[in-house]
Structure 1
Amino acid sequence: MADYQTGYSLDSTELLNSLAATERFLIVQDLDGVCMGLVRDPLTRVIERRYVAAAARLAGRFYVLTNGEHIGRRGVNNIVENALADPAHAREQGLYLPGLAAGGVQLQDRYAQVSHPGVSETELQFLQQVPAKAEAFLQALLATAPYAIEEPLISTLVASAVLDNRVSPTLNINVLYQYFKAQPDIYCHLQQKVAAFMADLHKQAAEQGLEGSFFTHYAPNAGRDAQGNERLRLAVDGMAGTTDFQFMLSGAIKEVGLLVLLNYYYFEQTGEYPLGADFNPRLAPHGQAELLKLAGDTFDPQLMPRIVGVGDTLSSSLLPGSSEVVRGGSDRGFLQLIQALGELFERDNKLVYIDSSAGEVRRPGIDTALLQRRKTEPALEPWAALAGITDATDPLRLDVIFSGGHQQYVEFFCELAGRMSNLDHALAAKS
């Protein structure tokens, strides 16, 4: 247990100072809840202009890794453009957020050059049909018992819930959780109906020759079952459970995306792709052991950066009716791989957790007061402060926690970018 006492820190100063003194580092960061608040309707998301500017100053040291998308009316690119005085500046000055979206199958550089490596035209055509099917399903469902909602409210709710993402069409039922939160049994029934709808989409895909092309990502989830499928997390104790049901391409999982980003990082450093120019999540293994071996066999240890993984979606709970602990969360896989890469390549990688519980989406939060007590009571274990997020036997170790949410992290990020910009200018002047 002693190893854990060095982590779960609420003080990010040491991390800031050490990164500013690190020659080669890479921040790999989620988006929603990390650099902008969690909201019920993705169309209302806002990102700070100074954060966008800071990301540009950290070019080459920063990538995003998100299950959202870059493009489309609900994509992050629109949010970036809205944050600027002139939207045209985003493309002219390279202010878009580089990295992977849709779990790893939508690659973008700073200038919004977007590609979907490994995705077939047939798959894209099937995905294009999903939002209309989701709208029809939800429209019909909400008019029946036990929901019995009337128009025009149904259409308003459906418009908020169905996300017409290009390669990860999603049913986001946050707005329906708010509507039914005083009737948890009805909301849980709705969750199960949406899960059944997603299962039917897989059946339709298989009938069209696309069996195995897709999977359902539940966010948040209750880990994976014996077959490797994510478990639905039903609402309990005032928590919404699974609110995002994403129909995603197979291989579009963040831990695989991390290797795609490292392949791209090495190319930017050397002009060569260690894993090949065509490497993509559809070609990669999915197990952490296999991913770790691939990295160890391929990446030059001398060029491996110190990696800082930043996320806000982790879960830990008991399987209903059992003493078995199940762990999930869409950020768990890539954070755990970053931790393992640090051990393999002997890098001081760090895992950063952002407490996004103050947003519009209900999820477990940090007991800040209890963690603060650990400064004067080092023997005090942190688990009670992290209930629902992690536990005493969790192999994932969180190093730094931003209890102040995305606002606190943005301050940190902007300060780091400023320091690195000054350092780069000083080095350029010497040369």
Structure 2
Amino acid sequence: MFKIINTPILLFLATSLSLLLVTVAHAKTPLDINEQKIVKQVKLALPQSLKDIEQAVNINSGSMNFEGVKQVGLLAKQQLSEIGFEVQWLDGSAFNRAGHILATHKSNNPNAVKILMIGHLDTVFAKDDNFQYYKRLSKIHAAGPGIADMKGGNTIIIAAMRALTKLNLLDNVSIKVLLTGDEESSGRPLSLSKKAIVDGAIWADIALGFENGDNNINTGMAARRGYTGWTLNVEGKPAHSSQIFNDEVGYGAIYETARILEAFRAQLEQEENLTFNPGMIIGGTSIDFDLDKSAGSAFGKSNVIAQKAKVKGDLRALSNKQLKSAKQTMQNILKNNLNHTQAELIFEAGYPPMALTSGNLALLEQYSQVSQDLGYNAVIPANPRKAGAADISFAAEHVDMSLDGLGLMGTGAHTKNEIADLTTLNKNIEKAAILIYRLSKKSHK
């Protein structure tokens, strides 16, 4: 029976106390007969898993290529249906994306543990991108769009389910597999595009994410920082540049923007695990900005005081408390406007943080034990600074335990140098399958 209270832990992953919680040496325990069978089954099915990755990678599924995302979804639907899952396509037209795949296995045991497994179908590579196909580079490396982020992770989910089904080891666990179609470019509103994740998490006891995390097989994401976009709009009084700084004209929009950004840095940069980045700035007498293209232009002259400026940025925090505090500090900075200037700061709805909790650390410890029992290394908490936001953050606050970064490891994600480390494929399939098998032996009430 699981009884984990989801309370924040006041420590950071890099501290010795945090690491102690999950790296205390545990004696290697022998695999039971079913776990030995799982290892053999994963090995036998490895060629099929490699084919599955190649087939998925060769379908372009950039987030806005709806047909491609649907095609990858139909491939996953076929694979999961063959295993025996009930699979449905969740249309995404209401949030301007292709949609999601939801596959369900329901145990007849009313006390069976319920696990939500999360992946995503889409990639960052557009339909007309010249990085389109799977390429085997060596015995242990392969390249391709989305191979690690995260078509390899989807394959690990499906391969683990295949192994457990083949061995009749899913009787005491209920599973929902959710493969979203908009992780790389979220549909809006988030209340609709992420509804399937939230609903699945409310149903579940445990959430497992199969992103590649920080691409280190010896770490797991027990915490993830959230993502919030922000827009800073600033206005000043236009006039001839010779009049700048005087009481009638003031400082102009660009000086006020510089003051605000520098104050953000000075007051918040020492906050642990908090980052805030102004990624785009335009300013001048007049400005234009295209939100869809994330591009803009400005008109101005060196002898004219700037009237308008705009900054687009992001804010990443490890907890809702930290996020709320940072937002308040940023808004307070805006109140001290330079003479004849005004500013507004608009925060967008974004990804919530996946806070470090006792439940998450307990699940990571179980996963680490599986790894060590298989003869692999211990798995320690990843530094959340080394990975971005992910879909599991929408699930984490609704479950007793959550863990991410269980996918296929690699390098160069989101670039045309994306390469997968194929030596991690069988290892992470084994670990996922045995973790779920061990969890299935514990009832939940």
TM over 0.5: no
Q: TM-score, normalised by structure 1?
A: 0.25
Larger gyration radius, structure 1 or structure 2: 2
TM-score, with normalisation over the residues of structure 2? 0.25
Larger RCO, structure (CA 8 Å, separation 6 or more):
2
Going by fraction, where is strand more abundant, 1 or 2? 2
